[in-house]
Amino acid sequence: MRFTSQQKLLSSILKIIPIVLVLILAAPAHALQISGGDPWDNAVGVLQQAFTSTIARGLSLVAIVIGGLGFAHGEPGAKRNMSGILFGVGMAVGAVNFLSWLFGA
């Protein structure tokens, strides 16, 4: 039985695919070993800084003031908005503080 050139090409490609996959999957582990740290550390640190920075606290204060004004003037749905604002701010700031306490960062 004779193989056509297309069948030979397909056969050689199928032999190369596992090697390429192993190299692609091994690259992140090698990079992690070289850098000596977890690649998620930097991203988590940036998020923590964003949620606890002065700008984030200032924006949450503005949201609370606007929600409080709506509540004081009796707008419909103001209680729901105010509780959403307080719950969201509490979750964002509280989660960062809890994780800092838990992991000692």
pLDDT at 31: 58
pLDDT at 53: 76
Determine the Cα angle at 101 with ends 100 and 105, to 5°. Answer: 40
The structural domains of the chain, with segments of one domain joined by +, span 1-37, 38-105
Q: What is the dihedral of CA 4, 10, 11, 17, to 10 degrees?
A: 170
pLDDT over threshold 70, residue 105: no
Measured between alpha carbons, how far is 87 from 85 in angstroms, rounded to an integer? 6
- Could you read off the pLDDT of 15-55 as tens digits, one per residue? 787 777 777 776 666 555 555 566 677 777 777 777 777 77
